[in-house]
Amino acid sequence: MEIKSVGVIGAGQMGNGIAHVMAVAGYDVMLNDINQDALNAALALIDKNMERQVSRNLLDADAKAEAFARIKTTMDLPDLGPQDLIIEAATEREDVKNKIFETLLPHLAPQTILTTNTSSISITRLASRTDRPERFMGFHFMNPVPVMKLVELIRGIATDEETYQACLKIVNNLDKTAASASDFPAFIVNRILVPMINEACYTLYEGVGNVASIDSAMKLGANHPMGPLELADFIGLDTCLAIMHVLHDGLADTKYRPCPLLTKYVEAGWLGRKTQRGFYDYRGETPVPTR
C-alpha cells in the first residue's frame, strides 16, 4: 500500500520531531495532543527547526513553507482514524498507550497501520490489545528526530511482511537508515545504551568518580560525543529508569537492576534538562554538576 497521510500522537519532544520529518518528506501530517498549549509549542518549535535547516541550506524556503503547511493539529484523537499510518509517541507508559489505541480502534480505516515509538515496551503485547496485530509494529525514532539517522523497526510476533515493507519504505523516504530489531526488551539501541547509563549512575553512587570526571572519562577515553550522565539528562532520567525497569522485569537478570541513585533523582523530580535539574543543574548560564 502507498502511505500518504500520517497521524502522530503526542506533541512532545519526539512527536514534534516525527511530524517535522514526515512533513518535509512530503506526507500530510495530523499531530494530536491532549493539550492545546503543547500543540502550539510544537508548531513553534517545528517552525524554528525548519528555519534552522533553511539557514544551513538543508531545506529551501519554498520547501519549508510547503512542509509546514502539511501539518495540521487536533485535540480529538478520533480525527486520526482515516490516516494511512499512525505513530504513537505519547508517554512511555503501557497503560497510557493501551488507552490511546483502545480509543482509536473504532475510528480506524481498514488499511491503517498502527505503530508505536516506544523505546522498550513489548510490541507484541501492545499489538495484542488492538484489532490488527498483523498491521502493528514498533517505529522507534532517535532523539533529536530531524538530526538522527537511525530508526529501529520492531516486528511483533504477528506483524506481517507487507506492514514491515511499508514502514521500511517510509524510513528510506525520510533519508534515514532502518535497523530491524526483534521484539525483546529495549530492542537494540536502548538494550545497550541505557545499561551503560545505569552503570555510570552506579559509578557515581559508589563514589568511583563524580559527575564531571565520569562524563569526561567517557568523552575523552571512549570518544563519546556526550558523557553518559549528560546523555541521561538529555534523554530524561524518568525515561532511563522506565527502560531499566522494563529490562529488569522482562529479562529477570540482576545486571539490569536500576541504580538506587537514579531512582532517587526521579523521586526528587530531577529528571534532567526538561526539569532544569538532573545530574547537572541547568538553571544558570552553564550546566553545573549536582554531585
Mean pLDDT value across residues 204-209:
98
Instruction: Answer yes or no: 190 catalytic.
Output: yes
pLDDT for residue 1: 74
Q: Confidence band (pLDDT; 50, 70, 90) for 188? A: very high
Dihedral sign from CA coordinates of 229, 233, 236, 237: positive
Name the grid cell of 174: 525520510
Alpha helices in 11-137 (DSSP H): 13-24, 36-55, 61-69, 94-104, 123-128
Catalytic residue among 20, 49, 92, 152: 152
Catalytic residue among 5, 120, 190, 198: 190
Each domain of the chain, given as residue ranges in start order, spans 5-181, 190-289
pLDDT for residue 176: 98
Mean pLDDT value across residues 11-27:
96
Q: Are 168 and 174 in contact (CB under 8 A)?
A: no
Instruction: Answer yes or no: 119 catalytic.
Output: yes
CATH of domain 5-181: 3.40.50.720
Dihedral sign from CA coordinates of 97, 1, 19, 108: negative
- Given a cut of 90, is residue 44 above it in pLDDT? yes
Mean pLDDT value across residues 81-90:
96
Q: Is the pTM of this model over 0.95?
A: no
Q: Confidence band (pLDDT; 50, 70, 90) for 97? A: very high
Instruction: Answer yes or no: 152 catalytic.
Output: yes
- Given a cut of 90, is residue 92 above it in pLDDT? no
pLDDT for residue 237: 97
pLDDT for residue 6: 98
- Given a cut of 90, is residue 236 above it in pLDDT? yes
- Given a cut of 90, is residue 286 above it in pLDDT? yes
Q: Which of 1.10.1060.10, 3.40.30.10, 1.10.1040.10, 1.10.10.10 would CATH assign to domain 190-289?
A: 1.10.1040.10
Catalytic residue among 119, 120, 122, 198: 119
What gap in Å lies between CA 232 and CA 283, rounded to an integer?
A: 17
Q: Beta strand pairing status for 280-281 and 113-116? A: unpaired
Least confident of 67-71, 112-116, 142-146, 171-175: 142-146
Catalytic residue among 32, 88, 117, 140: 140
DSSP label at 144?
A: S
Mean pLDDT value across residues 138-161:
96
pLDDT for residue 91: 86
pLDDT for residue 119: 87
Name the grid cell of 246: 522494563
- Mean pLDDT over all residues of the chain? 96
Instruction: Answer yes or no: 248 catalytic.
Output: no
Name the grid cell of 139: 517505529
Q: pLDDT tens-digit profile of 237-263?
A: 999 999 999 999 999 999 999 999 999
